[in-house]
Structure 1
Amino acid sequence: MKGRFYGDDAPGEEKFRRQRRAPQGRRRVAALTAEGEDTSEDDVIARLKALGHVTEVLAELKSGKEATAYVARGPRGTLLLKLYRDLQARSFQRDEVYRAGVYIPDARAAKAMAGRSRKGLEMLHQGWVCAEYTHLWHLWEAGLNVPEPLVGPSPFDYSATAPAVLMRLIGHEDQPAPRLSEASLTPEEARRAWDQALSGMADMLRLGYAHGDYSTYNLLWWENTVTIIDFPQLTTRQNPHFRDLLARDAQSLATSFRRHGVQASGDATLREVQRRALGPGPTPRVLLP
């Protein structure tokens, strides 16, 4: 089935189509859940409920440059709801280095995105969200330690949730997994986390990916296991900046692990990742029909 990554209407979009408005930034939980007499439920949350993905938004978990993560509930249990800000409202807007080498067959769409027209920004926004789902499904099926995506794997399904990405929450509802940048580790745990982080980066490289923002800020620590998160900027070998992004990931990983007592240079980290990428990968997961 043909996916809708740029500009196509998602299922049910006509019913929930928003009028033109100011760019949407960070949404507070009260605004999402219609708490208070003078507020109405956020239209994205209303659509997710209508599609059967979400029943309740519980709390804000983390707010970043592009999106805010919330703890929510749905028919499949506790989940993480990642809600992207509109492109114009993000502190990180220029994503050309990550999209370099990506072929867009629709010439008009490519021109609109390059010119960053209103329609082009809408397409970029939709593409950024769908890219995270696409990469998340690929990595999950390949057996990597990443959160389980909860919509898809068909683009027809997950394009309907934009600007939201839904995935299994790592940790518990009342105790989500911390990022490694915030975790307190013993020396033994730090060595174990470092080894898993190297293997995770090598597993992505084996699949032809560079993460693009790989550090302890995008690694979770739960039950002595590292889980990789944040994938919209994931890039492939077709990107002319691939080697530079890979080297930058290695340096970022090495630098961010120093607070845990791990001392390694970016060059040594990159060599070790490349060495591990030559070995066997994790066991792929089998999706049930």
Structure 2
Amino acid sequence: MNAGWRPRDVQAELEGADVRPERREKYKTKKPLGRRRLGTLTGDVTDATIRRLTELGHITEVVAELKSGKEATAYVARGPSGSVLLKLYREFEARSFKNDAIYREGQTVTDERAARAMTARSKKGLEMLQASWVNAEYAHLWTLWAAGLSVPEPLVGPRPIDYGETSPAVLMRLIGTEDEPAPRLSDARLDGEQARSAWDQSLDGMAGLLRLGYAHGDYSTYNLLWWENTVTIIDFPQLTTRANPNFSELLRRDAQSLVTSFRRHGVQADPETVLREVQRRAQGPAPEPRLRLP
């Protein structure tokens, strides 16, 4: 893998964005899109995003709703290459998770109009924040998957011009099967040997992120899947790099979250000891890359 490649700067994602103010009346009458139930995606009048994804050839059918969270709803879908995990983001106005500033610190937006719109959270600013959040997940997924980390395979890209067409959706390979999607590690039942293996894999996963210069920002059993005795890391839009002044704090918080969430599996550990172990492992050999990105 090209060690110099990194996810695109926010400014690159906003290139050409129209930040002209919209009419206030129009903004007031707009109802933000939140969770979309299965019936609204596949009924007589198909959801606009699903229709676009179908027309682009990315999916053929939405099968079931899998999980609804504070930022997005996950659906099981089908596509030309098999089973798909469709993550459909809510609009910023409809999301309960809005405090994203800690993750965005250190990013540079050179377009002053764009920066003002995003800071003011105007209609156009929210649209740009939404686009950058979705594009960030794709960019991070491609970086991590190409580097050989245990993450779902992204199904659109790796060119931003391709995955930019899918917003507000992110498409990735489904972990598990349509009848039995992989559970979150927080919901899985593990025996003692499985718990030790899952813990060791989780430390390796956090070390793999750190080796690439990342802190996950929400690293716990709630964002780790368990399938066929393998841990898979998910949920990447809030990944941060060392350019973020909060990097050390977020890395330490990841260690604490991992320790706390693993207690239900009988694993007891000290967060500071875990952090040192992750830092030690990050100095070790990297996994075999799957792909060399441009």
Query: Secondary structure, in 3 states, of the residue corresponding to 2:13?
Result: coil
Preserved contact between residue 147 and residue 291 of structure 2 (Cα < 8 Å): no
Q: Name which of 27, 32, 48 aligns with 2:36.
A: 27
CA contact (8 A) 1:129 1:163 kept: yes
2:11 matches 1:6? no
Q: How far has the Cα of 1:288 moved from its partner? A: 10
1:2-56 deviation digits (Å, cap 9, x = unpaired): 99622757xxxxxxxxx9731000000000001xxxx411000000001110110
Partner residue, 1:254: 259
Decide which moves more: 251-260 or 278-287: 278-287
Question: How many Å apart are 1:271 and its aligned residue?
Answer: 0.9
SS at match of 1:176: coil
Cα shift at 1:76:
1.0
Secondary structure of the residue aligned to 2:276 is helix
Pairing partner for 2:140 from 131, 135, 139: 135
In structure 2, what residue type is equivalent to 1:190? A
Q: Which residue of structure 1 aligns with residue 72 of structure 2?
A: 67
AA in 1 matched with 2:52: R
Equivalent positions of 1:13-162 (< 5 A) are 21-34=30-43, 39-162=44-167
- The separation in 2 between residues aligned to 1:244 and 1:191, in whole angstroms, is 26
Query: Counterpart of 2:51 in 1: which secondary structure?
Result: helix
Q: Does 1:197 align with 2:202?
A: yes
Give distance in 2, aligned partners of 1:91 and 1:179.
21
TM-score, reference length from structure 2: 0.91
Helix, strand or coil at the partner of 2:66: strand
Q: How far apart, CA to CA, are the structure 2 residues paired with 1:52 and 1:8?
A: 26
SS of corresponding position for 1:82: strand
CA apart distance, 1:268: 1.2
- Tell me what 2:20 maps to: none
How many residue pairs match? The answer is 276
TM-score (norm 1): 0.92
* Compared CA separation, residues 261 and 65, structure 1 to 2 (3 A): same
Q: For residues 212-251 of structure 1, what are the structure 2 equivalents within 5 Å?
A: 212-251=217-256
Shift of 1:281: 1.1
Unaligned runs of 5+ in 2: 1-7, 18-26
Q: Is the 8 A contact 2:146 2:293 kept in 1?
A: no
User: Secondary structure of the equivalent of 1:175?
Assistant: coil
Give, in whole Å, the separation in 1 of the partners of 2:15 and 2:88: 18
Q: By how many angstroms is 1:105 displaced?
A: 2.0
Structure 1 residues 79 and 287: CA distance shift in structure 2, 3 A: farther
In the TM superposition, residue 190 of structure 1 has moved relative to its aligned partner by 0.2
- Indicate the RMSD between aligned Cα atoms, in angstroms: 1.9
Aligned mates of 1:5, 1:288 — CA distance in 2: 18
Q: Identity across aligned pairs (percent)?
A: 68
CA distance in 1, matches of 2:112, 2:285: 40
1:166 to 149, 164, 171: 171
8 Å CA contact 2:185–2:225 kept in 1: the answer is yes
Structure 1 counterpart SS, 2:59: coil
Counterpart CA distance in 1 for 2:16 and 2:41 is 25
